Amino acid sequence: SAVISQKPSRDICQRGTSLTIQCQVDSQVTMMFWYRQQPGQSLTLIATANQGSEATYESGFVIDKFPISRPNLTFSTLTVSNMSPEDSSIYLCSVVGATQGEQYFGPGTRLTVT
């Protein structure tokens, strides 16, 4: 399995500002993903974070709003830009483990935008 940490664990931000969320994994992994979980909802994939190239975004998510960096095989960041109250969610990163394709999730970052 993989051990994943995220920073910050939670934050309260004002609308119009930006927040960068960090995801650190204890081993090198090829595939990392970012998900959003809006209040009372299930998880929705935002993007696949690719090492050495631009992230691949899902329908409804754009790079200008959710820029992603993946500088190496153990670390990624997701920025939520120009925030509005609708961005209030839990943001989670996940990785694919070394065997059998099992995915592991970080503890999440709870974001509240006021």
Partner 1 sequence: KQEVTQIPAALSVPEGENLVLNCSFTDSAIYNLQWFRQDPGKGLTSLLLIQSSQREQTSGRLNASLDKSSGRSTLYIAASQPGDSATYLCAPHNAGNMLTFGGGTRLMVKP
Q: Which residues bind partner 1 (CB under 8 A)?
A: 1, 31, 33, 41-45, 48, 90, 92, 94, 96, 100-108, 110
Q: How many residues does the chain have?
A: 114
CB of 16 to partner 1, least distance (A): 26
At 87, is the secondary structure helix, strand, or coil?
helix
CB of 39 to partner 1, least distance (A): 11
The nearer residue to partner 1, 13 or 43, going by C-beta atoms, is 43
- 44 in Cβ contact with 36 (< 8 Å): yes
- 27 in Cβ contact with 74 (< 8 Å): yes
Q: Identify the bridge partners of residue 96 per DSSP, sorted by sequence position.
A: 103
Which pair of tokens denotes residue 61?
Answer: 């998510």
The nearer residue to partner 1, 1 or 20, going by C-beta atoms, is 1
CB of 87 to partner 1, least distance (A): 17
Angle 95-21-84 (CA atoms, 0-180°, nearest 5)? 120
CB of 82 to partner 1, least distance (A): 25
The nearer residue to partner 1, 72 or 103, going by C-beta atoms, is 103
